[in-house]
Amino acid sequence: MSLKLRLNLIITGLLLLIMLAGAILTLSNARQNARAEVASAEKLALYLFDTAILSNPDPILKRIDSRPFQLQRLNHMRHLRIELQDTAGHTLDSNQTESGHKFRSEAPAWFEDLLDTVTPRWESTARKIEYQGQAIGELVITPDPTYEYAEIWKQITDLLVLASIFFVAVNLMISWAVGQALKPTEKILIALNELERGNLKARLPLFDLPELARIGQKFNRMVETLEQSISRNHRLSQQLITLQEEERKSLARDLHDEFGQCLTAIHTDATVVLQQAESKYPEIRDSAAAISQLSRHLMDLVGGLLQRLRPGILDELGLAAAVQDLVETWQARHAKVACTLAIEDIPDSFDEAAEVTAYRLVQECLTNISRHAAASSVDIHAASEASEGQRGLRISVRDDGKGFEANHADGLGLPGMRERVEGLGGELLLETSPGRGTRISAWIPIKGRS
């Protein structure tokens, strides 16, 4: 649930509670006012009745069956039902209209029932009429709160309409205000996404809100520290890689110059001994042949070690020839895999670090394909490509193997490849998913040899 929605729900709940409390208070006050007004109207009606009798009792009371009080004139008193009844309980006159049409309340029945439930029972008031000590009838006044209920209903509905308008307006204003307050979070999210993609140049602007301004300052300082730390790590990693390559180069040179030449000499001498043994010393023929075969095997083994440690062709003929030789050698060992190589516009010679990184990248990719991919085809493409005005080398290796989850690639040598490439200021992209093959693409900046 978003923060904006959560705040809106909280404020909505508070407003609903306030509206409910206001409705209950309004209903209670209206109920008391209705009872007071009905009681006041009842007293007024009794006062008028007493006044009429006292002012002219004889003519009125003698002809009680001829509607002497003219109660129809009091039909505007909707709060009361006034009836003149004889001693037998028959209604002689009433303030209700002769047509029988009653006031039609706008209040729904359930609302009137609710008010009747919370309001004490309305009791009728009877005033006996006597003439010369003899009862001739009575005046019955029955409260009728229907009109008051209608007024209460109108007041409450008007209040609810006003409260609803206020409720909607407040929610809209709060939603707008919260949206404006949270708008900087979009910039924070964009900066975090850029940081996740490896863009260490991402920075947050200076926000107006003090709280967000402090967050922005802390974020920018954190990214600067992270950028410096990663830059130091890249330099250290590159130094380690350079030392490793130099050590490999030195070891390869020693193997070639010392061990390799000794093996060559042993093989040559063993061949000469074998030739002499064929005719003069047949008893040592088998030993000479064994020495010759073992020296040849060791020479092949040393050649393989030299190829892995430092391919001499890389220094002698350049990257294009070294990669061509690497692919052909790999293809010979994996004849069932269709491997295509395309090399376009690669300089004959550029800085050694970039050459070695590009070569090791292709070498590591081919090793991973042979071990894990179970691919039937491999496409390798290498070409010059400029990025932001800087010359570089784009290398892409794609296979149609089983692929893997990109989040579980730590055991495939990818961190080392990425460190090599990013240590030179380049970038490495991995595209893969289970069952859909793998594509590794790297851009490596290059410069001329110093």
- pLDDT score of 208 more than 70: yes
CATH code of 385's domain: 3.30.565.10
220 assigned to some structural domain: no
187 assigned to some structural domain: no
Contacts of 194 (CB under 8 A, 6+ apart): 201, 202
193 assigned to some structural domain: no
What is the pTM assigned to this prediction? 0.50
- pLDDT score of 298 more than 50: yes
* Residue 90 pLDDT class (50, 70, 90 cuts): confident
What pLDDT was estimated at residue 101? Answer: 46
What pLDDT was estimated at residue 267? Answer: 82
Q: How large is the average pLDDT for residues 424-446?
A: 89
Q: How large is the average pLDDT for residues 268-294?
A: 82
What pLDDT was estimated at residue 100? Answer: 46
Say if residue 96 is in the same domain as residue 7: yes
| Per-residue DSSP letter, 96 | S
d(CA 192, CA 208): 20
Say if residue 372 is in the same domain as residue 427: yes
For the record, the structure tokens of 291 come out as: 């020495």
Say if CB 186 and CB 205 are below 8 A apart: no
159 assigned to some structural domain: yes
Say if CB 438 and CB 253 are below 8 A apart: no
DSSP for 157-216 reads HHHHHHHHHHHHHHHHHHHHHHHHHHHHHHHHHHHHHHHHTT-TT------SSHHHHHHH
Residue 322 or 167, more confident: 322
Say if residue 293 is in the same domain as residue 318: no
Top mean-pLDDT range of 24-33, 84-93, 94-103, 237-246: 237-246
183 assigned to some structural domain: no
Q: How large is the average pLDDT for residues 248-258?
A: 76
Say if residue 306 is in the same domain as residue 316: no
Question: What would the pLDDT profile of 40-69 be if each residue is shown by its tens digit?
Answer: 766 766 776 666 655 555 555 555 555 666
Say if residue 110 is in the same domain as residue 162: yes
- Number of structural domains found in the chain: 3
Percent with pLDDT over 90 in the chain: 7
Say if residue 17 is in the same domain as residue 162: yes
401 assigned to some structural domain: yes
- pLDDT score of 246 more than 80: no
Contacts of 358 (CB under 8 A, 6+ apart): 319, 323, 382, 393, 395, 442, 444
d(CA 259, CA 117): 111
What is the chain's mean pLDDT, rounded? 78
d(CA 61, CA 69): 10
Of 240, 275, 310, the last residue of a domain is: 310
Say if residue 64 is in the same domain as residue 125: yes
What pLDDT was estimated at residue 377? Answer: 93
Question: What would the pLDDT profile of 330-374 be if each residue is shown by its tens digit?
Answer: 898 888 899 999 998 887 777 888 888 898 899 889 988 988 888
Say if residue 58 is in the same domain as residue 113: yes
Question: What would the pLDDT profile of 110-119 be if each residue is shown by its tens digit?
Answer: 777 777 676 6
198 assigned to some structural domain: no
Q: Supply the range of the domain harboring residue 296.
A: 225-310
Say if residue 118 is in the same domain as residue 134: yes
What pLDDT was estimated at residue 274? Answer: 81
What pLDDT was estimated at residue 69? Answer: 63
Of 136, 151, 171, the last residue of a domain is: 171
